[in-house]
Amino acid sequence: MATGVTHLFVPGPTNVPDVVRRAMNVPMQDHRAPDFPDLVNGLLADLRTLLRCRTGRVFLYPSSGSGAWEAAITNTLSPGDRVLMSRFGQFSHLWVDMAERLGLDVVCVDVEWGAGVPVDEYERQLAAEPDIKAVFVTHNETATGVTSDVAAVRRAMDAAGSDALLFVDGVSSIASIDFRQDEWGVDLAVTGSQKGLMLPPGLSILGVSDKALAASAVAGMKRCYFSFEDMIATNDLGYFPYTPPVPLLHGLRASLDLLFDEGLDAVFDRHHHLAEGVRRGVAALGLELCATAPEWYSDTVSAIRVPEGVDGVQVCRIAYDRYRTSFGGGLARLAGHVFRIGHLGDLNEVSCLAALAAAEMALADAGADVAFGVGVAAAQEYYCSAHPAAERSV
Ligand code: PLP
């Protein structure tokens, strides 16, 4: 049936609120006009609030999140630098791949897909190899629905006496899950516009500590388009070194206003509440998450293992073709084994119930033994009995 809206439950791009969409519908404007800095300066200041960083700087690049990955590396490291990374899903894998292709000497700790950053192993490696220059953390592995403990990595670095730079991929966590750049001593915090910020893809955001800025003055990797130096020279005047994606900047203004109106802590509570309902529904259906233990559960995406004999690719295909619902598919070695419900951005309880209802139908059509309504009912029970902290007084 080609009627009704298509329901978007991929873990990015996420649904764009109407107010944000309308904010982007602007006549084109001169990005070198005298009043353009009013927009830019406000955004750069408010992004610091989002990242919870009072020190350092924030850069905005016209790229997807991967561009900020590259900006972080090429501005602060030198070819051959030894760095510590871990791989436990497709996105942590891609960052390792980028680091290797850019010429870093990567110590990669491979972890079961379904767990997260191996903090104890990081501490052991850092104590054994004091010359490690950077430590990488994928805060939320979108492929497996796993959130790692960045604060614990910082503690491990301190315990090992490491003065390495701490790089964090917050593409599917920032603006949805608690993130504290200053408090956790994050030197480079990467995110993109199309997830928690509820914007179209095309903007990446990079929070950079004072220590990382100092490192960029001596780092030997080549960079041009992503150069911090060029960015600083123009940002200081309220402009960019090249033509910025003006409509996205207006959208970002609107999305930050929405997030701050709701309150960041309330936004994080809402994501936890919605995710927990989805998890209850998944459990009631007798299905398992890819995340192997509650400590890893992600509040932005659930990767759900399909039952034996059921093809996860078919589940996604049926959901899309018959029920106009987009789920995330399994990536790389998880292809066919999981489907993913993104529960981040502009959504509420009823959105998540719709996702579970569509999942029940698509699973049944793909051959799974499903008792209709069981997953939805478990989520309904949870949603009715537990409201996010911010709404308890209502
Ligand atoms: N890191 C994570 C955790 C992601 O989920 C993604 C994309 O989904 C990326 C990095 C890459 O970001 P982009 O596709 O915006 O380049």
Q: Based on the number of CB atoms within 10 Å of its own CB, is 128 exposed (0-12), middle (13-18) or buried (19 or more)?
A: exposed
Residue 2 lies in a domain: no
| Confidence tier at 35 by pLDDT (50, 70, 90) | very high
The tally of domains found in the chain comes to 2
Using the atom order of ligand 1, give the atom closest to the CA of residue 170: 3
**Any atom of ligand 1 within 6 Å of the Cβ of 164:** no
81 and 160 within one domain? yes
Q: Are 207 and 221 in contact (CB under 8 A)?
A: no
182 and 46 in a common domain: yes
The rounded Å distance from CA 301 to ligand 1 centre is 13
CATH of the domain at 102: 3.40.640.10
Ligand 1: does its nearest atom lie under 6 Å from the Cβ of 65? yes
393 pLDDT more than 50: no
Domain boundary among 230, 261, 292: 261
3-state secondary structure of 351: helix
How much is the pLDDT for 3? Answer: 84
The answer to whether the CB of 138 is under 6 A from ligand 1 is yes
- Given a cut of 80, is residue 253 above it in pLDDT? yes
Looking at the fold, whether 50 and 67 belong to one and the same domain comes out as yes
- Global pTM value: 0.97
**What is the CA(248)–ligand 1 centre distance, in A?**
18
- Summarised one tens digit per residue, pLDDT across range 136-148 is 999 999 999 999 9
| pLDDT at residue 389 is higher than 60 | no
Q: Does residue 2 carry a pLDDT above 80?
A: no
- The verdict on the CB of residue 171 being under 6 Å from ligand 1 is yes
Q: What number is the average pLDDT over the span 304-330?
A: 98
Average pLDDT of span 224-249: 98
ipTM for the predicted complex comes to 0.99
Mean pLDDT of the chain: 97
35 and 48 belong to one structural domain: yes
Other CB atoms within a 10 A radius of the CB of residue 316 amount to 24
Is ligand 1 within 6 A of the CB of residue 268?
Answer: no
* pLDDT for position 387: 72
Given the CA of residue 139, which atom of ligand 1 is nearest to it?
A: 3
Query: Per-residue pLDDT tens for 111-131?
Result: 999 999 999 999 999 999 999
Q: Is 70 in the pocket of ligand 1 (CB under 6 A)?
A: no
Sign for the CA dihedral angle at 165, 166, 172, 173 comes to negative
143 CA closest ligand 1 atom index: 5
Give yes or no: residues 202 and 267 share one domain.
no
Angle at 18 between CA 17 and CA 19, to 5 degrees: 90
